[in-house]
Structure 1
């Protein structure tokens, strides 16, 4: 179905996203939004905003035209809370269908919640807790448990909906009353809250700016419960002038940010989650995920994306993933006691070991690090992303201490930095020995013998033992505090 176009007609924004490969975690080829404010004043008037409808008409006409120019294989157009709840919502959607020759699905609250939960599961497949998607007009809450969705509810708690209720205390009481009507929330206490939606992502952006986070990536940015409670308390009490002075506040989210923070804070007081995990994937990604067959859904999103990058960027067309798997097997003996999570990151690093070969040699490490720190990966925490990036940086640079790599090593402890260095130097040796050619490393062997690191080559690869290979072997042994040797195995 790729490329897939999704037009999302929300209460606050209208957005077009065009997704492309890989299927397991599609990459946005194009992403544009217009903040129309369709749901502005909906709580008071019960109708869509007139100016919002005018802007939405213009945006949708443009988006449909772009999707057709891009020759998307499928265009999915959906409308959410504002169109669903407004007295003139159905009429407006019907007019859009006629004007643009498209079909538009008005999602029910249950459907909107389900697809938002699918979006979280697409990027965090082991998610277990409560997904909360705060849109302009509504809050969707879903209990999720490792690829399964359970209880769900849609509540009229979007900032555009509650802004006209009254003062701070009246809005707080309204939120609390709506949350009190959801009995299953208490059964989810102590589990993570997965936060979705532009208003809540703005909270993460502001926190990153305020704390000088070295990595400004929303996906799986995590706040412990106490930090989230305190930070949302501060944000919820801010007036407009105070918000304007705060660093990191998206310009178009300034008015809604205190309300978004207040909704999160009141939900946190009910759930008392272990942590808040922000998700970059939501409704639109969930629509794409819902179209996949079960075999593709079962794929690891990180490794699927790394495999796609290896296929696209590898020096030898069609052999990137194959060579990455060889590299991983080649360096595996260096790691005697390793968790499943670390083995997964090691394989990801091996798959990405050839992604910067087109760049000038002096900048390959920096290029690889930047790609990994900013790639739209799924299934990876901020800490894991830093470790993965640092390992591939070391594969090219031969070190992890370069100031260029500071955004990665600042997020890691000494043990993790050392681990990344050994992975990187092992990959560096493997790439030098094989020249990046698939098939060579399957016959070569790294092992420890009498306390030394030994690189053992088959007779047919003896000629590959050059000065560069010996330098790389020595550097790897030094990182392991070992002596070293390169030897040729006896024939037969």
Structure 2
């Protein structure tokens, strides 16, 4: 088991992420800390980092080093982006950090910054083709992903801080200022040859501006799930947020629910850059990412190469199974059996979409709550699955998987449609109940937790379903336990359930 610290020195904030990395390439984030330093603000006319900002940055990095030492972490990876990248006194700052704190800072080029954004997201989102945008304090990265590969990328020299300083955007703006802002931003977009080729792609948003857009949207819409990663919002709503912000002064912005008070003064320019891009390319949908440079560095560290994961969801599920110290053999056995039932029973499941990944997640993680407590572990599993960042699933899919897992012991765990009605429907509840009974049967078929049942197959008749069980030794006890699900099965499918050894 290794532990590493990653310090990301941005133009607006400096962040520390602490991660535990196991030998089997699994990792766990154990802490994350942010200091708003504004290193890219108030640079001198000669392009130097402000001396007061440097002192504040060094204090923040020193504090982060103390946190690493308290956790027994000696390996620290420190990177810096646009503010340090363009500073004429870059060497002075880097050398001070090295001499005073014994930390070497790697200054990322714009290309490297875009790559880590790409690598952090291609390994944490189920995407094949998309446009990624990371807008920071002093730069914005655009990355075109095609067939999961980085096709083109560019780093542009504007961000939340320098746009605010250039156009005085910390207060409400007039029509002329807005026009000048959009004209300035658009001039950069028009000079990117490949950007004009992009058609009908989703935008994936990286960084604090996008996260704050999501938080404002969630508050406004009373969205019931806290997870920012993979939050979906229309570009029309993003434009509504922009139009709301542009007429407010700084004090009024600080009252907006979901908008960080530390970002209120620099928020408008960054959202303006997003809206201008959306209008230029006629973008329709935004997916907000909770990953970026730091996650890109972690994936590079554990994968030891620049090849994306073959299956984002599989890696993520396995990561949680290991971190929650689950019985891997039992979890995989339940999924193996559930997969067979799912495929055999499709004629009576009567579902139009593919729920394979939802069922896989629920089956493999159904016991994750035992890590908290065996008692009521199904309820703990619900909470863990819903509130974890399971990569490769939408929020709806994650919620459905959480409910299926919660129902794996008995069918009295209440599905709260009043709370989650914005995410799932009555029809989704029906599907949850169908898939949950499959998991419950398979959980009981591996009741001995020793993989005695080698396979199952189903025969569907007009009035009954027979599950034929093949086993290594006598399967009387497993079948007896599984038959406890007959009442629930018959209620859901209107067919008698027969389970027998074959």
Do both proteins adopt the same fold according to a TM-score greater than 0.5, normalized to the shorter chain?
A: yes
Aligned to 2:431: 419
1:356-375 paired onto structure 2 within 5 Å = 356-357=369-370, 363-375=376-388
Show the 5 A alignment for 1:31-50.
31-42=32-43, 46-50=47-51
Following superposition, the deviation at residue 196 of structure 1 comes to: 0.3
- Please say if residues 447 and 478 of structure 2, whose CA atoms lie closer than 8 Å, have aligned partners that are also in contact: no
CA deviation after TM superposition for structure 1 residue 360, in Å: 6.3
Query: Does 2:447 correspond to 1:435?
Result: yes
* DSSP-derived class of the 2:339 partner: helix
User: What whole-Å deviation, never above 9, does each CA across 1:380-417 have from its counterpart, x for those lacking one?
Assistant: 211211221121122245156443x7555641233332
1:82: which partner in 2?
Answer: 83
Displacement of 1:221: 0.8
How far apart are 1:204 and its partner, in Å? Answer: 0.8
Change (3 A) 1:265 1:220: same
Match of 1:4, SS state, is strand
Matching of residues 73-152 of structure 1 within 5 Å: 74-152=75-153
In structure 2, the residue matched to 1:233 is: 243
Quick one: structure 1 residues 304 and 166, their matched pair in 2 at CA, closer, same or farther if it must change by over 3 Å? Answer: closer
2:173 corresponds in structure 1 to: none
Matched residue, 1:161: 162
Gaps of 5+ in 1: none
TM-score by length of 1: 0.90
With over 3 angstroms needed to count, the CA separation of the structure-2 counterparts of 1:327 and 1:243, relative to structure 1, is: farther
Correspondence for 2:190 among 166, 169, 180: 180
Contact 1:2 1:73 in 2 (8 A): no
Q: What TM-score does the superposition give when structure 2 sets the normalisation length?
A: 0.88
Deviations 1:98-132 (A, max 9, x none): 11222211111111111112112121252412111
Distance 2:450 2:248 in 1: 58
Partners of 1:359 and 1:77 lie apart in 2 by 34
CA shift in 2, pair 1:400/1:190, >3 Å: farther
Is 2:233–2:287's contact at 8 Å kept on the other side of the alignment?
A: yes
> Gaps (5+ residues) in structure 2?
169-176
**Corresponding residue for 1:258?**
268
Does 2:292 match 1:282? yes
- Structure-2 residue corresponding to 1:298: 309
Q: Is residue 341–residue 456 contact of structure 2 (8 Å, CA) maintained in 1?
A: no
Give 1:24 deviation, angstroms. 6.3
Partner of 1:222: 232
**Correspondence for 1:198:** 208
1:473 correspondence with 2:474: no
Q: Aligned-pair distance for 1:441?
A: 3.3
Q: Displacement, 1:248?
A: 1.5
Q: How many residues align?
A: 486
**Contact 2:415 2:429 survives alignment (8 Å):** no
State how 1:452-491 maps to structure 2 within 5 Å.
452-457=464-469, 460-466=474-480, 469-489=482-502
State the 1:366 CA deviation: 2.9
